[in-house]
Amino acid sequence: MPASVAPGATITIKNSDSQAHTVTSKEGGFDVKVDPQGTATMKAPTKPGSYKFVCSFHANMTGTLVVK
Ligand SMILES: [Cu+2]
């Protein structure tokens, strides 16, 4: 995932792992599942900010999406 994205940008997420993962944010309103070795796309939030996300399958997998 890029360090920051423009508001409303389309983001492509690649999963190079052998397990499915998600990019899930409660406050950002996104929740995308990415299949093993697969890609998925999502729209960035339209409001600038830092959006924490987690993998809903693996609670220890976290990150932050910066929209600016
Ligand atoms: Cu995961």
CATH assignment at residue 23: 2.60.40.420
Detail the DSSP E strand segments found in 3-43. Answer: 4-5, 10-14, 21-25, 30-34, 39-43
Per the structure, the complete domain to which residue 61 belongs is given by: 4-67
**Residue whose tokens read 């983001």:** 11
Confidence at residue 17, expressed as pLDDT on a 0 to 100 scale:
97
Distance, CA 18 to ligand 1 centroid (Å)? 10
Distance, CA 21 to ligand 1 centroid (Å)? 4
Distance, CA 15 to ligand 1 centroid (Å)? 10
Cβ distance 28 to 66 under 8 Å? no
Confidence at residue 3, expressed as pLDDT on a 0 to 100 scale:
78
Distance, CA 4 to ligand 1 centroid (Å)? 21
Confidence at residue 2, expressed as pLDDT on a 0 to 100 scale:
59
pLDDT in tens, 30-63: 999 999 999 999 999 999 999 999 999 999 999 9
Confidence at residue 56, expressed as pLDDT on a 0 to 100 scale:
97
Distance, CA 58 to ligand 1 centroid (Å)? 4
Of all residues in the chain, what percent are helix, strand and coil, respectively (each to 5)? 0, 50, 50
Confidence at residue 1, expressed as pLDDT on a 0 to 100 scale:
57
Q: How many residues does the chain have?
A: 68
Q: How many distinct structural domains can be found in the chain?
A: 1
